Amino acid sequence: MLLYVFIFTVNVAINKPAYQQYPVRGEERYEAGKAVDGRKSDLSSWGGQCAASESYKRTATWWVNLISIHSIHHITIYFLTSNKQWGPSNWRTKYYLGFSVYVSNTADKLQGTLCYKDNNFTLDTIPAVFTTTCPVHGQYVIYYNERLPGVTYPDEYSDYVTSNLCEVEVYGE
């Protein structure tokens, strides 16, 4: 007798509660939940489909609360590109270099598992849509980036960071 086991993964982040450090004040169209609403056809800041944070900040944190602990397989992030060519010619690209993705059972990234830390992307290689495999269990998926005073970063990095994310998909069971 043969027994087949099929594991289906679905986007468990869709329409779940989200948080964003330094939200753009007075602009509901940029709220954190825009990055988990399932809409990703317009990757511009004016399309109403992206979460966006204030500019000129040294840290950027965005997270989604999956409500319960899930078995996660992979995470896909759609960066805000302004619907323009991605890479060195897009002024937004440099703000994402050096980002990290964590999975945690709390909103504290330090209590979680580091799934991905960008140490290699350049303006030429960072993808507009990023996917990482992260086979862990957790309730929160956290995007984080920083430009801390006194730390030397590669020349291509911006001086500040944002959490301008158009969609974060968390695939799991």
Model pLDDT for residues 144-154, shown as the tens digit of each residue:
999 999 999 99
Identify whether 5 is part of a domain: no
**Parent domain of 141:** 10-172
Identify whether 118 is part of a domain: yes
Q: Report the C-alpha gap between 167 and 173 in whole angstroms.
A: 19
Instruction: Calculate the CA 5 to chain-centre distance.
Output: 31
Backbone angles phi, psi at 78, to 5 degrees: -105, 110
Identify whether 99 is part of a domain: yes
29: pLDDT strictly greater than 90? no
Q: Report the C-alpha gap between 151 and 44 in whole angstroms.
A: 31
Average pLDDT rounded to a whole number, residues 16-34: 92
pLDDT of residue 26: 79
Identify whether 72 is part of a domain: yes
79: pLDDT strictly greater than 90? yes
**Number of structural domains in the chain:** 1
pLDDT of residue 6: 54
Identify whether 3 is part of a domain: no
Identify whether 144 is part of a domain: yes
Identify whether 130 is part of a domain: yes
Burial of 90 (0-12, 13-18, 19+ CB in 10 A): middle
Average pLDDT rounded to a whole number, residues 38-47: 94
pLDDT of residue 85: 96
Ordered alpha helix ranges (H), the chain: none
Q: What does pTM read for this prediction? A: 0.94
For residue 150, what is the domain's CATH number? 2.60.120.260
